[in-house]
Structure 1
């Protein structure tokens, strides 16, 4: 039974990585396509390639998440918690894509696992509440603070960027910012691959540990390559529904502000992955940076109705997936 449950976790983790790339492709390409820095085809191809490379660059964050994230019980119960959590996260990703709403895949995964873990105690399972402090400090708090920081940094970055271009003609300045945007599209995609690819790896390693297939928290090569391929494939098939929301519905975007938003969000993803070893949501980081850079204009151009819808989606992601994860675990528990 444990072997089949392990296979189910691996398949669901691959589906989660694919949906992650599919859902988050808009984060990489929205501003560059909106300002015509890149054509849609080139932007998606670049995002896919650098997502693949990013997932292969490092495993430090994945190892940190495996050690710190959650204390899963061994055997079928631990695998059932992961199955329910991954299923809830995948379902939420499909729903928010259909609704054209950018949402955090990490929040969805954390909510699903926490909800299914809490439900496991209702059927006499091991309590994973001992991981709540780690979940708060390493996951929830960074994910809550990163949108505020991204907004503030992108808003402030517009000032020095404008000052540096004070002697450039509008045409020359826009051309330079479009070139910078092309570079930052690749950099952001690389950071997205580093951040999101390693979450999938961490889940698979947790499943291997729960199934007793390994006692080492290191990342096997096949896990790393599989996660990279699934993430890149999802990005290559990326839907444009959320791209329209980020690129057109939130703010009026020009090349300078698009460059500012991508510079801030790219820097934050790398900072979180390599220095702080904490997961940051590429969706929340990019969307907040777009709003921050766009708000720094002579006239307020932020469209508050779609912004309010996005904020409601962010606030409800973890609670909804926690409930879904709990319900799915209770439905699955007779088989465990």
Structure 2
């Protein structure tokens, strides 16, 4: 086996592992609210999320192209594959660290931070690579701020509308109705998660194929890449990240079926808009968490456990640089192999 083929296989294997960890790390994004309100049993919810992830992946081409060609430029050759490998492994490390502590950080920003950190380390070793800071600003930083703000505001608006529309309704009947509605919103959320998160792995695989010399385009996505990325994300999702599910479903606010429906509906709408219209790789974690906070704040500000929320926001801020540092260390340890 020649060096280039070995390097491409190593990167694809690492990307598949990342995809799996992304699935169980972010399973909570799609179904934590449905489980906590007892709208769905845990295994049914995870099954719905896995199927939704698989379907959604096939609508994430715009996001995959942004990841594959809009964040860094790498010369063709095995040295660049070492950068991609280190970036993905750094992201895996950050995912496992935050999963262990039950912190719903962004797998997306872990991947982006890892790719940037490894690229900068490669530049320090003389590789002719470039971080596209304008692309980072446009596609990562601005959406990182805008999507949680949108989730929070729209979550508060939608929950306020629900409370006003159903203000004279019978609580028991309303709860039963919103539990049924949550099945639909959970499906929508899981498809949106697939559009975003499977697409990011697809972008990494396409980047590896391009710099490895196995395809001439940095944006073309082979069909097998769609299916493999979708399958690994779905399998990881079905495995379930119970530590993070507990944090999202129980520790931020006490969710009822109406609150869960509002949060999921708003978050999925934000995900769809960014994936299908803008092609922006936003964080599903940031979006659903902020929507939950917005929904909870309509009761009263004290309904949101701001201490837990503060810990989550701290993890958001640290994810990009933390994964970048991990990836740069991984590159220092592994670059001689490529």
| Aligned-partner Cα distance in 2 for 1:299–1:317 | 27
Q: Distance in 2 between matches of 1:61 and 1:249?
A: 31
- Aligned-pair CA distance for 1:172: 1.4
Displacement after TM superposition at 1:237 (Å): 0.5
In the alignment, does 2:222 pair up with 1:189? no
- Asked if structure 1 preserves the Cα contact closer than 8 Å seen for 2:20 and 2:232, the reply is yes
Deviations 1:182-218 (CA, angstroms, capped at 9, x unpaired) = 1010010001011111111110000000000000221
1:273 and 1:127 map into 2 onto residues whose CA distance is 27
Structure 2: gaps of 5 or more residues: none
CA distance in 2 between counterparts of 1:290 and 1:37 reads 16
Tell whether the 8 Å contact from 2:72 to 2:129 is kept in structure 1 after alignment. Answer: no
Which residue does 1:43 correspond to in 2?
45
Please identify, of 55-64 and 106-115, the stretch whose mean Cα deviation from structure 2 is larger: 55-64
Does the 8 Å CA contact 1:251/1:295 hold for their aligned counterparts? no
TM-score, L = length of structure 1: 0.97
User: TM-score, normalization: structure 2?
Assistant: 0.96
Q: Report the Cα offset of residue 58 of structure 1.
A: 4.4
Runs of 4+ with >4 A deviation: none
* 8 Å Cα contact 1:111-1:317 kept in structure 2: yes
Alpha-carbon distance, 1:220 to partner = 0.4
Which residue in the other structure is 1:96 paired with? Answer: 98
Deviation, 1:116, is: 0.7
Query: What is the 5 A alignment of 1:19-98?
Result: 19-98=21-100
Question: Following the alignment from structure 1 to structure 2, what is the Cα–Cα distance between the partners of residues 170 and 144?
Answer: 36
User: Contact 1:143 / 1:279 at 8 angstroms: preserved in 2?
Assistant: no
Match of residue 172 from structure 1: 173
Report how far residue 298 of structure 1 moved.
Answer: 4.2
Moved more, 226-235 or 162-171: 162-171
Root-mean-square deviation (Å): 1.2
2:34–2:260: 8 Å Cα contact kept in structure 1? yes
8 Å contact from structure 2 (residues 91, 107) kept in 1:
yes
Note the 1:1-336 alignment, pairs <5 A.
1-129=3-131, 131-216=132-217, 217-298=219-300, 300-336=302-338
Structure 2 counterpart SS, 1:74: coil
- Hey, what's the Cα distance between the residues in 2 that align with 1:60 and 1:221? 15
User: Using a 3 Å threshold, how does the CA distance of structure 1 residues 299 and 327 change in structure 2: closer, same or farther?
Assistant: closer
- Matched-pair contact (CA < 8 Å) for 1:13–1:203: yes
Query: For residues 77 and 309 of structure 1, what CA distance do their matches in structure 2 show?
Result: 37
